Amino acid sequence: MKPKLSLHQITHSYEDGSGRVSILRELSLDVQPGEFIAVMGPSGSGKSTFLSIAAALLTPTSGEVRVDGRSLADKSSKELADLRLRQFGFIFQSAHLVPYLKVEEQLLYVGKLAGMRRSEASARAKLLLGQLGLAERRLAYPEKLSGGEKQRAAIARAFMNKPDVLFADEPTASLDAARGQEVVQLIADQVKREGSSAIMVTHDERVLHHCDRVLELENGKLRVS
């Protein structure tokens, strides 16, 4: 099967006061459609850098990122923003909802940015909020939501534009164990339902059984753990 997202020989380094520091060394990864991958690693191992490069937020020092077989190397920042908008979904450490938008509007706004028709957008928002158990809370502001509800709203927002690849940056970091399980379960369910691929960076070992593949980031390379 053709990989949805592929990272080929990625090296990333930066100048430090004492010399060049390499965070990623010739890292390669193929993500198949519908695959849910977890990336583990201690802090400072480069998980955030890895995710930023995979999600087209950061350009690697060398190597190539391909989405659907097309290289991102020569795309402008506007094209990359459009790519992130239409083909990627993001779930962050804390939910990062826009504080002055009601839950439903968080989703509608993302749909609007992508140029989705209003009727289509509200139908999609309604569907997602129903699937994630937020139908009752759709008119609440983020400040009125619990931590779990916020993260569920963020998941719904990430799926709004039917992303090909979902990126999750430590989605359980600000939740207790039970809420963490629930949230990762929801992400896994949603990935299966939508047929998206997903990469989750985490150091929470209790949620790994939801994932298809678990990789460890060590010395700038990924290995099967």
Enumerate binding residues for other proteins (CB under 8 A). 47-48, 51-52, 55, 57-58, 78, 81-86, 88, 90, 92-94, 96, 98-101, 105, 109-110, 112-114, 141, 157, 169, 173-174
Shortest reach from residue 171's CB to other proteins, in Å: 12
Phi-psi region of 55 (alpha: psi -120 to 50; beta: other; left: phi over 0): alpha
CA atoms within 13 A on the CB side of 20: 7
Shortest reach from residue 37's CB to other proteins, in Å: 17
What tokens does 171 get? 């989605």
Among 41, 14, 16, 87, residue whose Cα is nearest residue 202: 41
What tokens does 191 get? 């990935």
Helix (H, G, I), strand (E, B) or coil at 196: coil
Name residue, tokens 């994630």.
Answer: 132
Shortest reach from residue 159's CB to other proteins, in Å: 12
Burial annotation 85-96 (CB, 10 A radius, 16+ → b, else e): eebbbbbbeebe
Cβ proximity to other proteins: between 97 and 211 the closer is 97
Question: In Å, how far are 62, 108, 188, 192, 217 from 41, measured between CA atoms?
Answer: 22, 35, 20, 25, 5
Spacing of C-alpha 73 from chain mean position: 20
Cβ proximity to other proteins: between 106 and 197 the closer is 106
Cβ proximity to other proteins: between 1 and 12 the closer is 12
Residue type present at position 214: V
Cβ proximity to other proteins: between 6 and 45 the closer is 45
Shortest reach from residue 1's CB to other proteins, in Å: 26
Cβ proximity to other proteins: between 91 and 188 the closer is 91
Shortest reach from residue 199's CB to other proteins, in Å: 12
